[in-house]
Homo-oligomer: A and B are copies of this chain.
Amino acid sequence: MAESVISAGLDFISLRLNAEQSMYGRYTQELGVYAKEEAARLRESGQRRSASDRSRTLDLLEYEKGRCAKCRIYTVRCQKFLISRVGEDWIFLILLGLVMALVSWVMDFCIAICLQAQKWMYGGLDSNVLLQYLAWVTYPVVLITFSAGFTQILAPQAVGSGIPEMKTILRGVVLKEYLTFKTFVAKVIGLTCALGSGMPLGKEGPFVHVASLCAALLSKFMSLFGGIYENESRNIEMLAAACAVGVGCCFAAPIGGVLFSIEVTSTFFAVRNYWRGFFAATFSAFIFRVLAVWNRDEETITALFKTNFRLDFPFDLQELPAFAVVGIASGFGGALFVYLNRLIVVFMRKQKAINKFLMKKRLLFPALVTLCISTLTFPPGFGQFMAGQLTQKETLQAFFDNLTWSKQGLAEEFDYMGHSQAWRHPQVSVFVVLVIFIIMKFWMSALATTLPVPCGAFMPVFLIGAAFGRLVGESMAAWFPDGIHSDGTIYPIVPGGYAVVGAAALSGAVTHTVSTAVIVFELTGQISHILPVMIAVILANAVAQSLQPSLYDSIIRIKKLPYLPELGWGHHEKYNIRVEDIMVRDVRYITLNCCYRDLHNVLLTGHLKTLALVESAESMILLGSIERSQLQSLLSQQLSRTRRLEYIRERSVAEKKRLSEVSNPSSEDSNMRASQEVRFQVRSHSGCRERWYALRPFSFSFVGKPSMMPSFLTYFPSPLCVLQIAEWEEKQLDEQVNFNNCKIDPAPFQLVERTSLHKTHTIFSLLGLDHAYVTSIGRLIGVVSLKELRKAIEGSVTVKGVKVRPPLASFRDSGTTGTSSSESEATELHKLWDRHRSISLPREHVPSESDEKSQ
């Protein structure tokens, strides 16, 4: 019984793989029938099971007849109930949260040990600077090289952040090998090594991927218990929850985690999934922090980077312009970071010579970059000007502390405690150190995140933002030593608050998210700076979004993942473009009464994944769509070797009949004999390689291998035979297609020609479509695919003098790699649109200046 359930579960998995991104419409007939049978079987087995349970219960009742019988029955029922609940969501989510909290904690633990080891080595060798340098440099180089090599060998998919890929997967596109156990191992071990090296890399992005991997694997594991719960929509929902868990247990920030994962991965979010994310992320964050308490790191559950700013007067109203400046500057900084990051990737790709060399020695690039970065941070060297000896965590704690580093006049008596010590340099002021830190870390982070190791950019960017905020805060503190507030009490300025604001703003600008604000509140455990943080984050987003795509979208573009870009801030021009302006009018279609020759021609000319099925070429009524592979199999079936043989046999029968009709009037007898003979003949082919036996009747029986027959027929056709077969094939091609055994998608998505681009985008994003047919009262008139839509959104199409380009888009495009290749498509599209305009809008006469292309 259990086995049947398991096999059913596995069947469902394979079914799901077939169905792929079947958010809508992909429900093919055969699949439906199969699923129905399967469901019926499951239901039946379930009923049988419950029947057997019932009978067992009755047995028990009869057997016991005691007082405790009812009790036992109750126990059995409870047990049954519990087992049936194993597949429920909340158990899955608890398990996911638990596993991820453990993974996160263990990883943090290992990273801490790695970093301590480096410090210890460096500290122990303080007699010799050269040895110290070697120790300081070798350690990260080895770790990063190992991480890069390990990931490269085990699963190259584990490289990078993983958020762009998760975004694509959650849109409904299946990326192969991105959710396997191998990738999980590669990502976890690679990430631990990469972070243990002390490079400016982050944990957040990869953790989203790790959590998704964990959810996918757990889902497979859970399906062993309850196969019916295996469902594609459910899996997508669970992946969305997993993304929240990833962020949540990385920063112990459940709310921020949920919001960040929504902003970063979704286009449309189902509110009913909301609780899943919250539930799992909270549980995960809770366990993550409880582990710290149990390990005696903390006294109780608190924030990861606890701050201790005053509550009664967190900031003055007149400080708000300074916070706004932090926000705007962070916006520019964030855009610059994304640009720089992409520039490095593009540069590395374009330099053929470098590229060739690096392709050969794949591990050389990471090793060189690591060497360069760790040399610069070497504390006795240049590192002394940028607090090189501090780890990311220590640096952040220093930025968020409640002291003012630049207290003027009090410099002597001010006691630099703990990590703040590192920021004091005997020669240069703290401002210079901060500026150097920001500049150096900026390019280092942008460079390091291009390394082929599992790594994220969130934490480095967060750190740079905090540094920038601190710089502004210290400047303010130096400027207004007694605070700004004029009446009564002196409230000195809190530079740590500026660091919090800066961190949220810069990370928000790079990722194009607002929820970094929530993440900083949860990270610091204080929400008193809510308004400055929100204002700065929103301003930073406004600036960054108008200049550059988000870091994740930028990576999506670089990797050319199949993702639909968002409509930007000022997307109201999109209401003016209609589907008819962007659709492809030359649709490949097949008709219901078409012959195989048409099929053949259509398959030869087009290269779309699906073809429209219309009633007839005159009516053009859309009936459905058929996958290319289906049509190919139909065609090959029609011209298959089996049918060819069949034909030959029939032909021989006819020949025989004709002969026998001449010689023997009792045709029925001969017919029967002939067919018998034909059977022998057919079987004999493989034996004696002679084709026209059947024409000369003979009487011995021969049992050959039927499976070898077709190969013979294909490989050794006689000249006569080739002609005949060609003739036969021509005849076959003229036959009408029988669609009975063909998987037809009976309800492909249809749009109306007047649908606005905005609405089209919404529908495509909502339903995860990759193409939609444009119909007019049932008649097919065009098709729109993701490609056309992407073009239109990215602004290659102009309509009536309205240039549909987001502000500063040229700056944005100059850095992308795909411009040259898309040029021709855009032109083609443009021609189409021009043609269309001249046809359907004859009464509008406008100067042609509006047609100038914008690229």
B-binding residues in A (CB < 8 A): 24-25, 27, 31-32, 35-36, 39-40, 43-44, 46-47, 87-90, 228-229, 231, 233-234, 254-255, 259, 262-263, 266-272, 274-275, 278-279, 282, 285-286, 289-290, 293, 299-303, 306, 308, 311-317, 485, 514, 517-518, 521-522, 525-528, 530-531, 534-535, 538, 541-542, 566-567, 569-570, 572, 575-576, 613, 615, 621-624, 744, 746-747, 750-755, 758-759, 762-763, 766-767, 775-778, 800-802, 841, 843-844, 846
Contact = CB atoms under 8 A, between A and B. Distances in A.
16 contacts: A32-B752, A32-B754, A43-B800, A88-B570, A89-B572, A231-B572, A233-B762, A234-B572, A268-B268, A272-B566, A300-B317, A301-B315, A302-B313, A308-B312, A621-B621, A746-B775
Contacts of A272: 267, 566-567
Nearest to A299: B313
A27 B752 contact: yes
Contacts of A621: 615, 621, 623, 778
Contacts of A624: 777-778
A565 B414 CA distance: 63
Given A43-B801, A567-B272, A750 B750 contact: yes
A573 to B, nearest CB: 9
Which has the most chain B C-beta neighbours within 10 Å: A314, A485, A752, A767?
A752
A311 B308 contact: yes
Nearest to A847: B47
Contacts of A622: 778
Contacts of A844: 40, 43-44
A610 to B, nearest CB: 15
Given A40-B800, A44-B844, A233-B575, 20 more contacts: A40-B841, A46-B801, A47-B846, A90-B569, A229-B572, A231-B572, A254-B530, A267-B272, A268-B766, A299-B485, A300-B316, A300-B317, A301-B531, A518-B518, A621-B623, A624-B777, A747-B751, A763-B767, A766-B766, A766-B767
B623 A531 contact: no
A759 B526 contact: no
Which has the most chain B C-beta neighbours within 10 Å: A27, A313, A767?
A27
A736 to B, nearest CB: 16
B285 A531 contact: yes
A131 to B, nearest CB: 42
A279 B231 contact: no
Contacts of A521: 521, 527
A767 B767 CA distance: 9
B302 A755 contact: no
Contacts of A269: 268-271
Contact of A275 (B44, B538, B800): B538
A611 to B, nearest CB: 14
B311 A89 contact: no
Contacts of A90: 542, 569
Contacts of A263: 271, 274
Contact of A758 (B233, B279, B293, B801): B233
Nearest to A226: B572
A317 B290 contact: yes
A528 B747 contact: no
Given A300-B314, A313-B300, A255 B518 contact: yes
B777 A282 contact: no
B754 A282 contact: no
Taken together, the copies of this chain in the complex come to 2
Contacts of A750: 747, 750
Contacts of A290: 317
Contacts of A767: 763, 766
A498 to B, nearest CB: 16
Contacts of A89: 569-570, 572
A24 B763 contact: yes
Nearest to A537: B278
Nearest to A87: B572
Nearest to A32: B754
Which has the most chain B C-beta neighbours within 10 Å: A87, A231, A778?
A778
Contacts of A569: 89-90, 275
Going nearest first, the 4 A-B pairs with the smallest beta carbon separation are: A32-B754, A623-B778, A747-B750, A282-B534
A777 B753 CA distance: 22
A518 B521 CA distance: 11
A25 B778 contact: no
A71 to B, nearest CB: 24
Contacts of A43: 576, 800-802, 844, 846
Contacts of A308: 311-312
A754 B27 contact: yes
A494 B47 CA distance: 54
Nearest to A311: B308
A271 B753 CA distance: 26
A86 to B, nearest CB: 12
Contacts of A766: 268, 766-767
A282 B44 CA distance: 56
Nearest to A276: B569
B271 A270 contact: no
Contacts of A485: 299-300
A44 B846 contact: yes
Nearest to A840: B36
B514 A275 contact: yes
B778 A282 contact: no
A276 to B, nearest CB: 9
A759 B22 CA distance: 10
A282 B538 contact: yes
Contact of A747 (B267, B752, B841): B752
A254 B300 contact: no
Contacts of A268: 268-271, 766
A753 B576 CA distance: 36
Contact of A754 (B35, B301, B317, B763): B35
Contacts of A753: 32
A535 B32 contact: no
A279 B508 CA distance: 14
A530 B88 CA distance: 26
A844 to B, nearest CB: 5
Contacts of A32: 752-754
A750 B623 CA distance: 11
A46 B266 CA distance: 37
Contacts of A293: 317
Which has the most chain B C-beta neighbours within 10 Å: A263, A285, A299, A303?
A299
A9 B58 CA distance: 75
A23 to B, nearest CB: 8
Contact of A255 (B262, B534, B758, B776): B534
A742 B746 CA distance: 27
Contacts of A271: 262-263, 266-269
Contact of A254 (B270, B282, B534, B802): B534
A615 B542 CA distance: 52
Contacts of A762: 233, 270
Contacts of A303: 527-528, 530
A687 to B, nearest CB: 44
A538 B97 CA distance: 14
A684 B262 CA distance: 74
B289 A531 contact: yes
A815 B237 CA distance: 32
A247 to B, nearest CB: 15
A754 B745 CA distance: 11
Contacts of A538: 275, 278-279, 282
B514 A39 contact: no
